[in-house]
Amino acid sequence: MEKKMKKSFVFLPAVMLIVSACSGPDVSTRVTSSLSRGVLAVEQKVQGKAIIMTPNVEDITDKGFNIRYMELSFGSGVPESIRDLAIDQCESTGKVAVFMGNSRGLVQFNTVKAHYECREIQSS
């Protein structure tokens, strides 16, 4: 019985790792996308904060991406440099950046993931 339990403790994490790696966008990305219609990045609230690591663009899809960064303070808004990075990322594809929201890491509260979508430019 004990041998069976040991095997299941090894097998279960392996299955969870494989499933999570193939599951598409992470939970915070899905939540921010579903809760917000978004705001144009050029109109989003920016707040000057000290960034303590180089921002990393990740989880890039045809619809959007995340920017992960670390900051020293808590508050609303994102640093101007993060917003500008998002605008540049979408402009490179001929689209506009829309800020969908952000989330903080559960273990490292100063790690932030800002979620952006790239949308077609609508002409009036």
Q: Has residue 52 been placed in a domain?
A: yes
pLDDT in tens, 11-48: 555 544 444 444 444 544 444 444 557 899 999 888 86
pLDDT at 38: 85
Residue 114 lies in a domain: yes
Give pLDDT tens digits for 88-122.
Answer: 999 999 999 999 998 877 665 678 899 999 999 87
Asked if residue 71 belongs to a domain, the reply is yes
- Identify the CA nearest to 99 among candidates 48, 61, 43, 30: 43
- For residue 42, the enclosing domain spans 25-120
Taking residues 63-71, report their average pLDDT: 90
Tokens 């077609």 sit at which residue?
120
Q: Is 91 part of any domain?
A: yes
For residue 10, tell me if it sits in a domain. Answer: no
Query: Domain for residue 57, yes or no?
Result: yes
Give the span between the Cα atoms of 48 and 71, in whole angstroms: 10
pLDDT of residue 117: 95
Q: What is the pLDDT of residue 108?
A: 59
CA pair distance 78, 70, nearest whole angstrom: 11
Dist. CA 64–CA 74, nearest whole Å: 25
For the chain, the domain total comes to 1
Tell me, yes or no, whether 18 lies in a domain.
no
Looking at residue 32, its pLDDT comes to 47
pLDDT score recorded for residue 77: 77
pLDDT of res. 22: 45
* Within-domain flag for 49: yes
Of residues 2 and 122, more confidently modeled: 122
The DSSP code sequence of the chain is -HHHHHHHHHHHHHHHHHHHHTS-S-HHHHHHHHH---EEGGGS-B----B-S--EEES--SSEEEEEEEBS---SSB-HHHHHHHHHHHHTTTEEEEEEEEEE-SS-TTEEEEEEEEEEPPP-
